[in-house]
Structure 1
Amino acid sequence: MTAPEPREAASSLQLCRIMRPDDANIMGNVHGGTILKMIEEAGCIIGTRHCNTLNGDRCMAALARVEKTEFLCPVFIGEVAHVTAEITHTSQHSLEVQVNVMAENILTGTKKLANKAALWYVPCSLKNVDKIMEVPPIKYASAEQAEEGRKRYEIQKTERLETKTRIKEVVSPPSHPEDRTKERHTVGFSQSSLIHLVGPSDCTLHDCVHGGVTMKLMDEVAGIVAARHCNTNIVTASVDAINFHRKIKKGCVVTVTGRLTFVSNKSMEIEVIVDASPLMEEDKGKYQAVSAFFTFISLDKYNRAVPVPPLKIEGEEEQRSFEEGNARYLHNKAKRLAAKESLQ
């Protein structure tokens, strides 16, 4: 059997949509989850198109991981979001899609880069959702570009396996996280959850949930946690890598739980875990399907960042989570400073 010929990288896919009132919070800022959903839709389309250029079983690109995503500036009601996606690396069974989001004010014509993201997909056969298909290779502009892509692939593969191991050790959230009698600014006071029954409109052709739908639910829960903690307008600042550990099928009940893990002077880190359980097959039990850390900032009425109330720690587990969050905060801060210096 001969190997498939490498293909030129697929031409960029572009999607655009005007932001409506139902895309935003009460302050007019578009939900980060809405942007994430648009990003995933673009990635899924271009990934699926590319993977079906070979003869054989038809397949659908399934989201496996989203790298750390920075929200560079907020998008507002009435602006047009332009989403551009491009395949930048392929391995035998996965592909990387890089996505940019530009926000356009159609009254003034000004544009701003709102978001950059990198997503990893695997092609699943339409005949058998558990069968991973081969990905057609792409041609790279240079050997250096191919090598950089290979390094990114190895890094995300290692981190995804490490996160999968860690998530098995995470303690399940309490049965009633909505206890509003707790003292303000504690983990328990702001902890929130959302329960959603997965229906046909949430799913792909495989009857599995779209990754963008899941990310939107996660961002909504994280936003509620952040708003309860600081009682101000809040926006998504960044999202650490989102790892999709197991598929979520139609008919599952998903419980999305968010809790504060770390607070700096002007940011809040919120761990969000998605649990799934088949509604009609209870014997299969509940499992943890997706996990991520979201970072939010608090804004005043002029959309300027303002200090966040300190987090009151209760118990050893919360202290451990806080210290781990502080380590992630310092690591990400150092990376941002290093990137900034490299551009000077």
Structure 2
Amino acid sequence: MLNVITGVFKMEKTFKTVASSRTSIAELMQPSHSNFGGKIHGGYMLNLMDQIAFACAAKHSKHYCVTASVDTVNFLQPIEIGEIVTLKASINYVGNTSMVVGIRVEAENIKTGMIKHCNSSYFTMVAKDDSGKSAQVPGLILNSEEEVKRFLKAIKRNKTKRNRHIEFNSQDFVLENYMNELADYNIKIDL
């Protein structure tokens, strides 16, 4: 929608609910998806997670989206051949052109009906316009305390990442300042 403000056209900001772009997929895990240990390969799961992150972000933004980063991939439980895996994704955070998609992976044993939480992750996706430039994304309407907590956790992860980058990529970095922190780790420093 366009508004005329003192002769200048301005795009009115749009907002969408988390629920409007919530996405899920389910797939039967087959032997071709397994690693040498007979469990579902982590790389295969990351591929599925990237697909659902794209679908969720594209649904929210109405643009083609690319993966900018993947944070906190926690493989909690192995996934077995023959289990049905369900991936659930929702937008946890939006910036101007980026979105953080939270993903939860569950596996269901089809014989027992037991469901286990196998994986959680956060994918940062960036919306792109037809010329490949970053595109504005709709704002996010938060309808529950859980959605607000997820948004706040994404802000904290972003700040932590930014601070870590500043701390370790600074020209002021002095290795000797960190030697005491490294003393209790299973390493030998041989510079």
- TM-score interval for Structure 1 and Structure 2 normalised by the shorter chain: 0.7 to 0.9
Gapped regions of structure 2 (runs ≥ 5)? 1-13, 173-191
SS in 1 for 2:44: helix
Match of 2:80 in 1: 249
Deviations 1:230-266, CA, capped at 9 Å, x for gaps: 1011100000021111110100000001111111122
Taking only the aligned residue pairs, the percentage that are identical comes to 30
Match of 2:70 in 1: 239
Gapped regions of structure 1 (runs ≥ 5)? 1-182
Match of 1:318 among 117, 127, 147: 147
Match of 1:190 in 2: 21
Residues matched between the structures, number: 160
Instruction: Summarize the Cα distance change of 1:304–1:253 in structure 2 as closer, same or farther, 3 Å threshold.
Output: same
2:101, 2:166 → 1: CA distance?
A: 23
Deviations 1:15-69, CA, capped at 9 Å, x for gaps: xxxxxxxxxxxxxxxxxxxxxxxxxxxxxxxxxxxxxxxxxxxxxxxxxxxxxxx
Match of 1:286 in 2: 115
SS in 1 for 2:140: coil
Could you say which structure has the greater relative contact order, defined with CA pairs below 8 angstroms and 6 or more residues apart?
2
Instruction: Summarize the Cα distance change of 1:303–1:339 in structure 2 as closer, same or farther, 3 Å threshold.
Output: farther
| Structure 2 counterparts to residues 1-344 of structure 1, below 5 A | 185-282=16-113, 285-342=114-171
Shift of 1:339: 4.8
SS in 1 for 2:125: strand
Shift of 1:200: 0.9
1:263, 1:330 → 2: CA distance?
A: 14
Instruction: Summarize the Cα distance change of 1:310–1:339 in structure 2 as closer, same or farther, 3 Å threshold.
Output: farther
SS in 2 for 1:247: coil
Counterpart residue type for residue 49 of structure 2: M
1:336, 1:267 → 2: CA distance?
A: 19
C-alpha contact (below 8 Å) 2:15/2:140 kept by paired residues? no
2:131, 2:165 → 1: CA distance?
A: 25
SS in 1 for 2:96: coil
Deviations 1:81-140, CA, capped at 9 Å, x for gaps: xxxxxxxxxxxxxxxxxxxxxxxxxxxxxxxxxxxxxxxxxxxxxxxxxxxxxxxxxxxx
Shift of 1:278: 1.2
Shift of 1:311: 0.7
C-alpha contact (below 8 Å) 1:198/1:249 kept by paired residues? yes
Moved more, 264-273 or 220-229: 264-273
1:247, 1:186 → 2: CA distance?
A: 33
4+ residue runs over 6 A deviation: none
Shift of 1:308: 1.9
C-alpha contact (below 8 Å) 2:15/2:138 kept by paired residues? no
2:164, 2:133 → 1: CA distance?
A: 23
TM-score of the superposed pair, with normalisation by structure 2? 0.77
CA RMSD after TM alignment: 2.0
2:133, 2:163 → 1: CA distance?
A: 23
SS in 2 for 1:241: strand
SS in 2 for 1:270: strand
Shift of 1:340: 4.9
C-alpha contact (below 8 Å) 1:184/1:229 kept by paired residues? no
